[in-house]
């Protein structure tokens, strides 16, 4: 089974990729994240993923389309997070099908801040729509490994999901804790 693995960032990949390798799964990474703003943050995360891919020795397809307008279309929706995950996983499934992969997956479930129910629901809807299998796993037990890997390899670790609203919410949390906002 050949799997196209959607990757949100290098730190998340650093936790999930070793699991894929340990399972003997044949996979290629796919970086597509139009939710990440501003563009400088998008590029910083892409460059860090390139570094993680070199260290862990795996291939990644980098979408040449930032396609932020597709994300902005979902911006005002009450289901912003659901739509954002669906958008990214749908693009992954379409590409996987197009280039002859058997399944698609994501690193998103490593994050304790992402809803596993939302991810699973997106997988099911997209799998049915495009008639392609998916690999879903709760990777949260690997989250601390990704933090250790990032620290020991000097990999940039972001402190928000990627969209402007998640950044704003992170700043509000910092302010409430009395942390300095830079």
- Residue 81, marked binder: yes
Check: CB of residue 136 under 8 Å from CB of residue 122. Answer: no
Output Rg (C-alpha) for the chain, integer angstroms: 16
Q: Closest Cα partner for 136 from 45, 48, 25, 43?
A: 25
- Residue 163, marked binder: no
In Å, what is the CA distance from 107 to each residue of 88, 132, 174, 175, 176?
12, 18, 26, 29, 30
DSSP element (H, E) containing 67:
none
- Residue 8, marked binder: yes
Binding-site members for [4Fe-4S] cluster are: 8-9, 81, 84
- What residues form the annotated binding site? 8-9, 81, 84
């Amino acid at each position: 089974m050949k799997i196209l693995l959607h990757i949100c960032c290098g730190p998340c990949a650093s936790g999930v990729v070793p699991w894929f390798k340990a399972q003997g799964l044949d996979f290629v990474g796919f970086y597509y994240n139009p939710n990440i703003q501003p563009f400088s943050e998008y590029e910083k995360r892409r460059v860090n993923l390139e570094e993680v891919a070199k260290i862990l020795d795996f291939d990644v397809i980098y979408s040449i389309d930032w396609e932020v307008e597709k994300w902005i279309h979902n911006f005002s929706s009450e289901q912003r997070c659901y739509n954002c995950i669906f958008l990214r996983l749908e693009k992954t499934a379409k590409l996987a099908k197009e280039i002859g992969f058997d399944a698609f997956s994501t690193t998103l479930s490593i994050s304790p801040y992402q809803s596993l129910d939302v991810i699973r629901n997106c997988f099911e809807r997209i799998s049915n729509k495009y008639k392609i299998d998916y690999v879903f796993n709760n990777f949260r037990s690997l989250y601390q490994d990704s933090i250790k890997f990032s620290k020991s390899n000097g990999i940039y670790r972001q402190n928000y999901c990627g969209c402007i609203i998640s950044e704003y919410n992170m700043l509000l949390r910092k302010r409430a804790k009395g942390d300095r906002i830079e």
